[in-house]
Chains A and B, each alone.
Chain A
Amino acid sequence: MSQLSLKSLSKSFGSFKVFENLDLQVANGEIVVIFGGSGTGKTILLRLIAGVEEPTSGEIQIDGEDATDIAPEHRNVGMAFQNFALFPHMSAAENIASPLRAAKASEDKVMAGVAKAAKLLKIDHVLGHAPRELSNGQKQRTALARALAAEPKILLLDDPLRNVDAKLRFEMRLELPRLLRQSGATVLYVTQDYKEAMALADRIAVLAGGKFVQVATPEDIYLRPANLGVARLFGDPSINTTDTVLSADGRSVTLAGKPLALAADHASHAGKPVTFGVRPEAVSLVKSGIPAEVMAVTPLNERVVLLLTAQGGWELLASLPSSAASIPDPGSTVHLAFAAEGTHLFDKATGERLHG
């Protein structure tokens, strides 16, 4: 049985629709990342689930029971806010203790709970401090500890790494999966950082245009994006695209004036205008293929990113391992081949990915 399910959940403010008819089932202990750009309603979705805001229509079920009318204090959820939302007039310890005290736990249990959460998040040494004396990283950890302290069944994390520095974000990205698994809670994690999403999620729900455009495993999202939008959101550098037309037999497309045979058969879409997409990592240099001129070479640690211009002015990026046999110089001409795995065709009209 799914622990949390959203049934055609809608929220609008006046005539402005944030999202409409969202459906999502989250299994016990699963980590689902809600991914989307700013203003797509990710935070509002979490607030609806936490109960501090009311949905316009639809249902939120927790443990199979309709929770839509249950007050936030009775939902047994924990939430960490993007802006931390610590209680400024209480010490870090009292902040973490607050959900335990609300549950009328004995003083021993409160102390033990605080100590446990603090140890887990490595903030034992600042428990006596007021929130304003904490660094951003410590605030964020305190907020997480507070959300975890009462061991809620459902944990809602609203972009908790948004306001911390890059180094800490990287560390937390490594630490969080273990931490969340340990808590055993069902987690809904909001982020707009695709790497965070990929690192943490069992499944990613991509929220765009007021609906979930794809709910799938990180691998699926990356290798089999539902549409061009999703393909563009995941990947750095992002996917190269160019408009072209499927050949009459559906087995090839014309790129930079040259036909390129496709791995899959798209006979049912033959002759259709399509958007050809190829991930920079899927571009490789070969003896003969699509010719392109190297415009710039940018080394990025273990990868080297080339800016290329193919015939007809198609600009694309290629990301090669730094260990590649030969990195071409700017101004030289190279020939390109595209690995089938990182190559996608999207319907030009709808943006949907075409299946072979």
Chain B
Amino acid sequence: MDHTSTLEKVIRGILLALVVIFFMFPIFWIFLMSFQTNESILRIPPSLAFTPTLENYIALVTGQMKTAAGSLQLNFMQNLWNSVLLSSASVIISLILGVPAAYAFARFKFRLGEDIAFTLLSFRFAPPLLVLLPLSLYFKTLGLTNTYIGLIWVYQLICLPLILWIVRGYFEDLSPDIEHAHRIAGYSWFQTFRKIAVPLALPGIAAAGLLAFIFAWNNFVFALVLASADKQPVTVGALAFVTASGIQYGQIAAAIIFSIIPTFVLAMFAQRYLVEGLSLGAVKG
């Protein structure tokens, strides 16, 4: 590392810049779009010179969308709240169910253990649409259509396998000797799980939780079919911007900025726990 030539540094800098531009440019462009009116967005050629307006954000917050054809009712803030509620509730439930299950799969050999774990993973194989048709019939019968509980339940299909398999790997990486030592010191297996296994696997649990949250947040099709407007998350809610009188690009952009924020904040917060190395030096070799 000490002997990188200037040329290497320059090339590395250019390559890194290219990658950053490639990934960040759309977000940057959307950010700009969110402060523009539809007219200035659709101007050809596009230009960076525009008078910024907060109109889009105001429309989202107040729920009044002004289109060429008149004013429309918007549900966006409700959608945003739904997204937060659905995603966090399903991740929390998945963590409560998935972390102990992951521990069991990692530590104990039991009959059909591998089969059950694999079945849970296989939920992710099938295209969601395949499950949706029978599911919507069941939901109608059970009265779960258009309820938070029903959606959170379905979201387990997304979150649970993810959390289970990621966290399981982290538990398997922990030395069983540390847990054995804790048992021998006089603690029950549940105390050992709580005080040793979970704290040591916390980086993994945080990573899995964050990933599950993002997947849940970005889900579209479950809520589209199983819920109506008042329970739908932002992903589905964004459809409202495609109106009879045209697509409201400015408001879509503002909506995207709004909907990035919770995930962004969560990722910033979880980063603290994502730092690994907590278990380094505990067990030799």
**Interface 9-residue window, one of B42-50, B148-156, B178-186, B251-259:** B178-186
Q: Which of B233-285 contact A (CB under 8 A)?
A: 278-285
A71 on the B face (CB < 8 A):
yes
Pairwise interchain contact B282-A85, C-beta atoms closer than 8 A: yes
Pairwise interchain contact A102-B187, C-beta atoms closer than 8 A: yes
- List B contacts of A133 (CB < 8 A): 281
CA distance A146 to B178 in the complex (A): 12
Interface size on A, residues (CB 8 A): 35
Known: A99-B186, A150-B185, A163-B285. A88 touches B180 (CB 8 A): no
B177 on the A face (CB < 8 A):
yes
Known: A83-B175, A85-B181, A87-B178. A136 touches B186 (CB 8 A): no
B89 on the A face (CB < 8 A):
no
CA distance A163 to B281 in the complex (A): 13
B122 on the A face (CB < 8 A):
no
CA distance A71 to B178 in the complex (A): 16
CA distance A134 to B175 in the complex (A): 19
B199 on the A face (CB < 8 A):
yes
Pairwise interchain contact A88-B278, C-beta atoms closer than 8 A: yes
Q: Which of A65-109 contact B (CB under 8 A)?
A: 71-75, 77-79, 81, 83-89, 98-99, 102-103
Question: Quick one: closest A residue to B185, CB to CB?
Answer: A99
Q: Which of A272-319 contact B (CB under 8 A)?
A: none
Give the interface size class of chain B.
20 to 34
Task: Write out, one digit per residue, whether chain A residues 130-171 have a CB within 8 A of any chain B CB (1) or not (0).
Answer: 111110100100010010001000000000000100000000
Residue of A52, A86, A146 near B180 (CB, 8 A) is: A52
- List B contacts of A348 (CB < 8 A): none
CA distance A253 to B182 in the complex (A): 58
A50 on the B face (CB < 8 A):
yes
Known: A50-B180, A89-B278. A84 touches B185 (CB 8 A): no
Residue of A50, A73, A81, A143 near B187 (CB, 8 A) is: A73
Question: Quick one: closest B residue to A156, CB to CB?
Answer: B184
Residue of A50, A103, A134 near B184 (CB, 8 A) is: A50
Going nearest first, the 7 A-B pairs with the smallest beta carbon separation are: A132-B281, A102-B186, A88-B282, A85-B177, A99-B185, A52-B180, A85-B181
